Every structure is written in C-alpha cells, then in structure tokens.
Amino acid sequence: MRKYIFVTGGVCSSLGKGIAAASLGSLMECRGLSVRMVKIDPYINVDAGTMSPYQHGEVYVTDDGAETDLDLGNYARYTMSPLSRANSITTGQIYQEVIQREREGRYLGRTVQVIPHITDRIKQRIAMVGDQPDVDVTIVEIGGTVGDIESVPFLEAARQMVHELGHENVIFVHLTLVPDTAGGELKTKPTQHSVKEMREIGVQPDILLCRAPVALNEELRRKIALFTNVAMDAVISAYDVQTTIYEIPLVFHAQQLDDIVLRKLQIDAPPADLSEWEHVVEVLRDSKRMVTVAVVGKYIDLNDSYKSIDEALFHGGVANSVRVQLRKIDSEKLEKAEDLDEVFQGVDAILVPGGFGSRGINGMVRTANYARTHAIPYMGICLGMQVMVIEYARNVLGFEDADSTEFGPESGHPVVSLLEEQVNIKNYGGTMRLGANDSRLMAGSVIRKLYGSETIRERHRHRYEFSNQYREQLHNAGLLVSGVTPDDSLVESVEWNGHPWGIGVQFHPEFQSKPVATHPLFAGLIAAACTSRGARSAERPQPQVAESALPAES
C-alpha cells in the first residue's frame, strides 16, 4: 500500500515547511526508503515562471523545463527524489485541467463542483507522483497556512485520502509557531488554535513540529500534547539551529522523528545512516578557514531570490573544507560607486547570477571588468555570462555600444541577442529555453577539467544567447568559447584566457548542487578563491553575513 505524509503549516507563513518536509525526506532516505516529494502551491498562477523574485523568491527549474516554487530546490538539495513538473501542483493547474475536461465533455453533463471534481483531480495528481512500485513514501507539502481560503480544497483532498487509504497509510505533520513574548516566555496558544482549525476541517495532526527560538522543555511539550490531542513524543521541537539549515535532519533524528513516522505508517526500516549530514555540519561548524564571495545581483533585497546559488556556494565550501561568507551587493548601486576597490575589499571571489531587465546591468558590467582586470576568481551564470561577453566586447574589442538586445535594442554591436524562435512571442509564460540540454566542452578548457567529461547536461532558463556573429572575434581576442551545444549552434560557456579562474555559463549549475554532492563549478570556484588570496581565519572579526549563513530556521 502506498504511504503518504502531508506537511501543513499554521499561524503564519515562512516558518520553514519546505525545509521541514525536505529534512523529513532525507531522514526517510537515510532509513533506506525511496521517497517522492510534492509541493502544492495554492496560488492561481499556473507556475512560478512569471512571478517576480521579490514576490516569490527564485524560480527552480526541473529537467523537463517546469518553472516551480523554490521549495523544490530544497527537496533537490536534501533528497534524491527525482523532480519534474509532476512534483509541482498549483491551484491554477488544477482548475485549468478540470475546466479543460469539462469543455471536452468528460464529465458527461454533470455540474462541475469543488467536491468531488476539484478534490478528485488533486488526489489524482498526488497519486501520479508516487505511483511506481519502488516508491515507499510520498511527502506532500501543502503551501500556505490552515485557514487560508485558497488551501481548503487541498486540505479537503488530503482529508479524503485518510478515509480512502486508512490512517496507517496517511499521516499529517503540522508545522506551527511557538513564539516568545517580550519577556522571553514561550506561548503555546497560537499552536493550540492552529491545531483547532485543522480539526475543524476534519484533520487531526499526528505529529507537531513546533517552531521556536529555543528547544521546548518537557512541560511545554506536555501542555501542547494535552491541548492538541497529539502524543507527547510526537511534539517535536523545531528550534533555531546554530550552525546551518543542514543540521535540521540531525535535530529531528535526535528527537526520533523518523522512528515516530515509521511506526505510525507501519513501515519496517533499517537504522539511519546520517554520516554524510554529520560531515556537512562538521565542516560548516568547525572549519577555521573562511573565504568571502561577493554575489552581485539585481534582487539582493530578498534573500530567497538567489537561494540555490547561495546554498551551492556553501556546498563549495564543504567540498573544500572551508566556510563561505556571502557579501550581497546590489548591482544597481555599483553603477555610481566611485571606488570599486573599497566595495570589493577582502573579497576572494565574485559571482554574478541570472536576472531579467536592464536595471543594474552596467553595475554588473563594471563588476566583470573589475574581476577580470584584478585577477579575482569570477563565475557568471546566465545573465552573468552575458555580462562577461558585453564587458569584453566593450573594453577589449573597443565596441563601446556593445550590448544585449534585451537592454539596448538599437545597439550597433548586439553581442547578445534574442533566440530567433522567440522574436515574435508575446506570451512570456513558459516561452524560454527551459530545462535540461546537453553541452559539449572544449578540450583543454578549465570547465572541461572541472567536469572531467566532454559532454554534460545542465538546465537552462533564458531567452537571449551569445551572438554567433561575434563569436570568432571574441574568441580570438581571448574570450574563449569553452562550451557549445552538440550541433555547435549556440555558445554554452566562455572563459577568460590567462585569468586565474573566470568562467561564464549560460545554464544554471546551482540547480544540481547538493551539500553531500557539490557541483564541480562551485567546488572549483571556492577552490580558486582559496588559492588566489588564501583563506582568512574565521576567528578574525567578520562583516555581517548573508541570512542563509546565519543560524537558520527549521
């Protein structure tokens, strides 16, 4: 019988359901089980592709080209669960599918209603993900919080699955808030009310993950258990960890969360092997060496805008046994900065990530020029690679008006231009070059040495490409074309000739990096950062670090 775990949230959003669900998935895998992950987003958008990073954080792209919620990135980093468009469910998708079926007459003239038609389609979509004989557990995260009107059909569908499959096959893990008052006292009332709302819609949580700044004592856990009808041993303290979010599976395991889940689902499994996670935490906690990486982007104000990149940089640190400190820099502010030496003082490497629109582009161009002329290790991802091309054309070839047609459509030297098949497309939802594609790496290139392979497969999300019109000129001038598509029609990566480490890639390697399996480009960048200036002692006074490197939330 298929087993399902629903992860829900209460009181307020952004408590960390995605990290909690991913951590639970990692624990199940450490017990030898095969896991599948599903994210349900109650918004009416069909996918996250047209949503601003300021609204929703980064867009995570799967191999099959789905533009999804950033929590799928958490699933990818914590688990081995394969991810595709099937693993991301939104209200927009469900209603679109049901309406399409109604238009096709597949409901035989019946009145189409939320129950049963919408809820049936939700259950079908969930079942599709784990409907393989080798899958042991499907973990389904329902976005939003209990009480949100948008989440009601999904919670109702989950409630129905308990009755259809039996409580030994479907359980609920509810993440809720235990806030502290001005005096430091932890209050359980918000958790009590959250569980009450769940029970009012017919769902009794089996396990509570209680988000609090510190671990709950036995008295508080007993009180929560009494008022929520949850067994005391199933009231888990999801407190703020002091090192890294990758410590959370260890925190949950120490409280026997995996044992409780397996007991309730009646699954026999071998003991957990958490040695890989222990190693990751050990490096991030105990390493005395540190490097500083500047991330120069357009969406710096929201930390989740570059979530996968931030985490991949930390993974690079694990691979090199160093701690990575992030310095977030708004590229728009660099357009007018007078002294870049001051801005990049103490920086060991620079990364320019992807983005859309003209805002802040010249600040990125200045950044690429500074890294190139000051021999600072540099990685450009997607837009960051295109910026390398623009900078080189302007400052080495002397094409002062060199630009991308995205930013300068009247440029006399459009070194980056729109994909030919995209020229007349006006519907921006899902119209880019999306998903995994093969690339061929040139012999003797740095990037080929890093991958150790001639052919690689990476994910893309962009509309604009390196213009082949300028390919030979730039290559001969020292901007080496180090990667192309198998048919040699598109440029996939470039390198600065003679530079310690300067690589730009049109794809998004951050989507395939894990703390226990660092992507070679991020491992290489951090290794270059260590070599170029030497790791500074972590014991010296440090500037403020990025939020994702601070004590993290569950």
Residue 549 resides in a domain: no
pLDDT of 18 > 60? The answer is yes
The answer to whether residues 256 and 227 belong to one domain is yes
Residue 207: CB partners within 8 Å, gap ≥ 6? 171, 172, 173, 174, 230, 234, 236, 257, 260, 261, 264
Q: Is the dihedral of CA 104, 106, 110, 111 positive or negative?
A: negative
- The boundaries of the domain holding residue 516 are 287-420+435-542
The answer to whether residues 74 and 164 belong to one domain is yes
Q: For 154-191, what is each residue's pLDDT tens digit?
A: 999 999 999 999 999 999 999 999 999 877 899 999 99
CA 411 from centroid of its chain's CA atoms: 35
Would you call 382 a catalytic residue per the annotation? yes
- Of 16-20, 33-37, 539-543, give the lowest mean pLDDT range: 539-543
Q: Exactly one of 117, 315, 499, 508 is catalytic; which is it?
A: 508
The answer to whether residues 239 and 327 belong to one domain is no
Q: For 256-269, what is each residue's pLDDT tens digit?
A: 999 999 999 999 99
Q: For 203-249, what is each residue's pLDDT tens digit?
A: 999 999 999 999 999 999 999 999 999 999 999 999 999 889 999 99
CATH number assigned to the domain comprising residue 532:
3.40.50.880
Single residue among 278, 296, 327 that ends a domain in this structure: 278
Q: How far is CA 180 from CA 188, 190, 197, 508, 552, in A?
A: 9, 11, 21, 40, 17
The answer to whether residues 406 and 265 belong to one domain is no
pLDDT of 553 > 50? The answer is no
Q: 144 near 153, Cβ under 8 Å? A: no
Residue 551 resides in a domain: no
Residue 230 resides in a domain: yes
Strands lying side by side in the sheet with 170-177: 88-90, 35-41, 137-142, 3-9, 170-177, 207-212, 235-239
The answer to whether residues 351 and 441 belong to one domain is yes
pLDDT of 538 > 80? The answer is no
Q: Exactly one of 67, 458, 510, 553 is catalytic; which is it?
A: 510
Residue 494 resides in a domain: yes
Single residue among 229, 256, 278 that ends a domain in this structure: 278
What is d(CA 103, CA 90) in angstroms, rounded to the nearest whole number? 20
Residue 321 resides in a domain: yes
Question: Could you give the percent of the chain with pLDDT greater than 70?
Answer: 94
> Model confidence at 534, in pLDDT bands (50, 70, 90)?
low
> Model confidence at 542, in pLDDT bands (50, 70, 90)?
very low
The answer to whether residues 157 and 306 belong to one domain is no
CB neighbours (10 Å) of residue 180?
12
The answer to whether residues 180 and 212 belong to one domain is yes
The answer to whether residues 272 and 291 belong to one domain is no
Single residue among 226, 244, 278 that ends a domain in this structure: 278
The answer to whether residues 356 and 264 belong to one domain is no
The answer to whether residues 237 and 346 belong to one domain is no
CATH number assigned to the domain comprising residue 165:
3.40.50.300
What is d(CA 59, CA 300) in angstroms, rounded to the nearest whole number? 15
Would you call 97 a catalytic residue per the annotation? no
> Model confidence at 12, in pLDDT bands (50, 70, 90)?
confident
The answer to pTM > 0.75 is yes
Q: Average pLDDT for residues 195-208, to the nearest whole number?
A: 96
Per-residue pLDDT at 431: 57
pLDDT of 299 > 70? The answer is yes
Beta bridge partners of 40: 89, 142
Q: How many domains does the chain have?
A: 2
Residue 409 resides in a domain: yes
pLDDT of 554 > 70? The answer is no
pLDDT of 546 > 80? The answer is no
Tokens (6 digits) for 436: 């995994």
Per-residue pLDDT at 420: 60
The answer to whether residues 249 and 293 belong to one domain is no
Per-residue pLDDT at 243: 86
Per-residue pLDDT at 419: 65
Residue 268 resides in a domain: yes
Residue 195 resides in a domain: yes
The answer to whether residues 153 and 30 belong to one domain is yes
Q: For 22-51, what is each residue's pLDDT tens digit?
A: 999 999 999 999 999 999 999 999 998 888
Q: Exactly one of 156, 382, 406, 553 is catalytic; which is it?
A: 382
Would you call 530 a catalytic residue per the annotation? no
